[in-house]
Amino acid sequence: MKVRKAVIPAAGLGTRMLPATKTVPKEMLPLVDKPAIQYIIEEAAAAGIEDILVVTNRAKSAMDDYFDYYPELETRLLQSGKDRELTEVRRAADLANIFYVRQKETKGLGHAIWRAKRFVGDEPFAVLLGDDIMRSKKPVVKQLIEAAERYEASAVGVQQVGLDVISKYCSVKVKPLEERIFDVSDLVEKPRPEQVFSNYAILGRYVLTPGIFDVLENLTPGYGGEIQLTDGLSELCKKEKMVAVDFEGKRYDTGNLKGFLEATIDFAMDHPETGKWLKRFLKDKAKAL
Ligand code: G1P
């Protein structure tokens, strides 16, 4: 089993980040000096993924422009000796082979993934949700790929979340297999308290077998009237092996304002241009509080 392809669903309306996302796709909002989606594409590329399909909608064309070459700008940067900027602009366009398909209708995550069927064909593939940005030593999706390849199985990336917030995610029924890896026998999306299997929730990373498409094709709408990927996984894990990986790394939910600010501050603290300055700025601010 070799994972070479990834799918990034990016067709959401960004309603949690309005009004900024009225005309700018939420995936294009900058986290320090790069748009949010670039972090996701970099993670996939660092994990050895070559081909990436982004599932978009009619309001997201800024994304394909971003990952394209821009000859006029590049010539200008070259002429004015802005080598660092030129390298960065080119690097973004060369990260991977990026393909796009539109979801056309907003019918849920499961429906967005189903749109990737022709791109994926008959091989396992990774899914990286655009809102979930990771900071880790080993790319989180790589941790999943290794488990999926070792177990010849689908793999979902989980972490423990508080029982008070699990209803925002999904809950996974797990049985330990080895350190940080579990067997999965059921899942439930946005669980009510009596439905919770465990406090392990999927946080935005998956490696799936193409078997998911047969399941998604016949799925009826679930939570919120949408085709839920989690409902598809709940069926898939009863037909095929599925493991959960308690991944190492910090996850930011950049689809909401607080998560977005957390990621911005953490990334800016690590950034060579802003790190020192920001730490001093925050210290001074904290003194004045
Ligand atoms: C989606 C998934 C959910 C998952 C969450 C975080 O929910 O449906 O199972 O736990 O992402 O990755 P959403 O954030 O779209 O409500």
Among candidates 132, 137, 188, 131, which has minimal Cα distance to 157? 132
Dihedral over Cα of 224, 229, 232, 234: its sign: negative
Amino acid sitting at position 16: R
Give residue ranges with CB within 6 A of ligand 1: 109, 129, 132, 169-170, 189, 201-204, 229-230
Confidence of residue 195 (pLDDT cuts 50, 70, 90): very high
Alpha carbons 152 and 202: distance in angstroms, whole number: 19
Give the atom of ligand 1 at the shortest distance from the alpha carbon of 255: 14
pLDDT of res. 288: 86
Q: Strands 51-56 and 5-9, how do they pair?
A: parallel
Alpha carbons 19 and 136: distance in angstroms, whole number: 31
Give the atom of ligand 1 at the shortest distance from the alpha carbon of 229: 8
For residue 14, which phi and psi values (nearest 5 degrees)?
Answer: 70, 35
CA torsion, ordered 107, 113, 117, 119, to nearest 10 deg = 120
- Are the C-beta atoms of 111 and 64 separated by less than 8 Å? no
Q: Which domains does the chain have, with CATH numbers?
A: 5-156+202-255 (3.90.550.10)
- pLDDT above 70 covers a percentage of the chain that reads 100
Dihedral over Cα of 62, 116, 18, 159: its sign: negative
Q: Strands 154-160 and 242-246, how do they pair?
A: parallel
Among candidates 244, 243, 240, 4, which has minimal Cα distance to 121? 4
Alpha carbons 166 and 14: distance in angstroms, whole number: 21
Report the pLDDT averaged over residues 27-43. 95
Alpha carbon nearest to ligand 1 atom 10, residue: 169
pLDDT of res. 12: 80
pLDDT of res. 155: 98
Is the pLDDT score of 59 beyond 90?
Answer: no
Q: How far is the CA of 247 from the centre of ligand 1 (A)?
A: 16
CA torsion, ordered 170, 13, 114, 140, to nearest 10 deg = -50
Is the pLDDT score of 226 beyond 90?
Answer: yes
